[in-house]
Amino acid sequence: MKTGKVFLVGAGPGDVRLITVKGMEAIKQAEVILYDRLANPKLLEFAPADCELIYCGKLPNRHIIRQGNINEILVQKALEGKRVVRLKGGDPGVFGRVGEEAAALAEYQIPFEIVPGISSGIAAPLYAGIPVTHREYAESFAVVTAHDKSKEGKPVLDWEGLARGVDTIAFYMGVGNLPFICENLITYGKPSATPVILIQWGTFGRQKTLQGTLADITAKVEEAKFSNPSIILVGNVISLREKISWFEKMPLHGRQILLARTSEGSSELAKELIEYGADVIEFPKWKKTVLPVDLTNVASYEKILFTSPESVEEFFTAVIEKGIDIRTIRANFYGASLKSIKALKKRGFMATHADEIDETGALLIVGDDSILNKNYDSADIIVTSKKELDPQFLPIFKRMLDEANVNTMVFPSSASVDLFVKAVNECDLNVVDLLQELEVVSMGRQTEGAVVTAGLPSHGVPENPTKEALVEYLAARPKEEV
Residues annotated as catalytic are 36, 58, 173
Distance CA 410, CA 444 (A): 11
Whether the link from the prior residue into 229 is cis, omega within 30° of 0, is: yes
- CA dihedral over 272, 273, 278, 284, signed as positive or negative: negative
For residue 135, the SS3 value is coil
Using only C-alpha atoms, the chain has a radius of gyration, in whole angstroms, of 26
Burial of 135 (0-12, 13-18, 19+ CB in 10 A): exposed
Distance CA 45, CA 399 (A): 15
The residue type found at 446 is Q
The answer to whether 477 and 410 have CB atoms below 8 angstroms apart is no
Count of Cβ atoms closer than 10 Å to residue 305 Cβ: 27
Distance CA 294, CA 109 (A): 50
List the beta bridge partners of residue 333.
304, 351
List the beta bridge partners of residue 153.
none
